[in-house]
Amino acid sequence: MSTNNHNSIRSYKGVAPKIGDGIYIDNSSVIVGNISLANDVSIWPLVAARGDVNKITIGARTNVQDGTVLHVTRKSENNPKGNPLIIGEDVTIGHKCMLHGCHLGSRILVGMGAIIMDGATIEDDVFIGAGSLVPPNKTLMSGYLYFGNPVKQARKLKDSEHAFLKQSALNYIDLKNDYLAEL
């Protein structure tokens, strides 16, 4: 684990977050409960991630930017598994997003201020425009740009956009490594 404030990382009901190698977690963020962060994840200022009533899993090289809220849906009689929050590898989650009990694949860019609701599934290689709302249980197919409220498929991704999805994650690895070097 690579963070200088262990008060940011808290257990809930005896379950502590699992933190991979080369992680950056800003001191102002809070990571609570049943959360698993793979290697090279970065959690930027003022992120709140609460794995209390279900689990949160974040894949390698994913970055979660300032002011984002990550939460889950509890298990119930009508929804026995609830909705965990599963985020794949090489995902860039822009500033001030809300991800709640949804499933994101890999190589995704979630634009600033986007909201992705319970049961939504975002396949690999997707751009979600800033301010978009992905309604509950909606699936966004791989290889497209989506935007709007509610979100709509706009067009196929260009080759340069496909390449940028991976590059964005790599850029944040370099940035978090710079931050870690300062600690």
Looking up residue 120, the CATH number of its domain turns out to be 2.160.10.10
Q: Is residue 76 part of a domain?
A: yes
**What's the pLDDT score for residue 177?**
97
Q: Does pTM top 0.85 for this prediction?
A: yes
- Residue 23 contacts residue 1 (beta carbons within 8 Å): yes
Q: Is residue 175 part of a domain?
A: yes
Strand pairing partners for 70?
49, 99
**What's the pLDDT score for residue 183?**
87
Mean predicted confidence (pLDDT) in 3-23: 87
Instruction: Determine which of 5-14, 26-35, 104-113 has the lowest per-residue pLDDT on average.
Output: 5-14
What is the span of the domain harbouring residue 58?
6-182
Domain count for the chain, please give it: 1
Confidence of residue 131 (pLDDT cuts 50, 70, 90): very high
* Peptide bond preceding 150 in cis form (omega within 30 of 0): yes
Q: Is residue 177 part of a domain?
A: yes
**What's the pLDDT score for residue 7?**
80
Q: Is residue 107 part of a domain?
A: yes
pLDDT for residue 102 is more than 80:
yes
Q: Is residue 1 part of a domain?
A: no
Q: Is residue 72 part of a domain?
A: yes
pLDDT for residue 81 is more than 70:
yes
Cβ-count burial of 98 within 10 angstroms (0-12 exposed, 13-18 middle, 19+ buried)?
A: middle
For residue 55, give every residue at least 6 positions away whose Cβ sits within 8 Å of its Cβ, in sequence order, or none: 34, 35, 36, 72, 84, 85
**What's the pLDDT score for residue 172?**
97
**What's the pLDDT score for residue 115?**
98
**What's the pLDDT score for residue 6?**
61
Mean predicted confidence (pLDDT) in 126-140: 98
pLDDT for residue 72 is more than 90:
yes
Chain position carrying tokens 């994650």 = 169
Mean predicted confidence (pLDDT) in 97-113: 98
Q: Is residue 40 part of a domain?
A: yes
Confidence of residue 4 (pLDDT cuts 50, 70, 90): very low
**What's the pLDDT score for residue 2?**
47
pLDDT for residue 113 is more than 90:
yes
Mean predicted confidence (pLDDT) in 10-32: 97
